[in-house]
Amino acid sequence: LEKASEGVGLGFEFLKHLSRAKALLHVIDILPADGSDPASNYLTIEAELKKFDDKLFEKPRLLAINKIDLIQEDQRDKIIKDFLKTVKYKGNAFNISALNGMGCKSLVFGLYDLIEEKDEEE
């Protein structure tokens, strides 16, 4: 998504599509396959949303931290806490594994509640 706000790749098309959504779900891989930094990945996407449109940036959103099954249980809380602190995330974050379904049910209910709340406001 880097430079999406400048129209690179599917940039404008993708961001316009997001603009029509009631809420956003930001899924970040805590251990990206390409070895990139998850905090940098998160901050890049957030910056692109803001550059494109303040209204899009202000949309309600949830954060799903994916691939937690790849982190040893005794290290999981610290790694996730450090990530959230680094990106200064204050909202609802759900720790999930899309592969084995861990935490996905809670995420679905969280999304439902967020959209329901948004519908009540409208």
The yes-or-no verdict on residue 22 having pLDDT over 70 is yes
State pLDDT tens for residues 31-81.
999 999 999 999 999 998 898 889 989 999 999 999 999 999 999 999 999
Dump the DSSP string for 38-104: HHHHHHHHHHHHHHH-HHHHHS-EEEEEE-GGGS-HHHHHHHHHHHHHHHT--S-EEE--TTT-TTH
Domain at 4-121: CATH code: 3.40.50.300
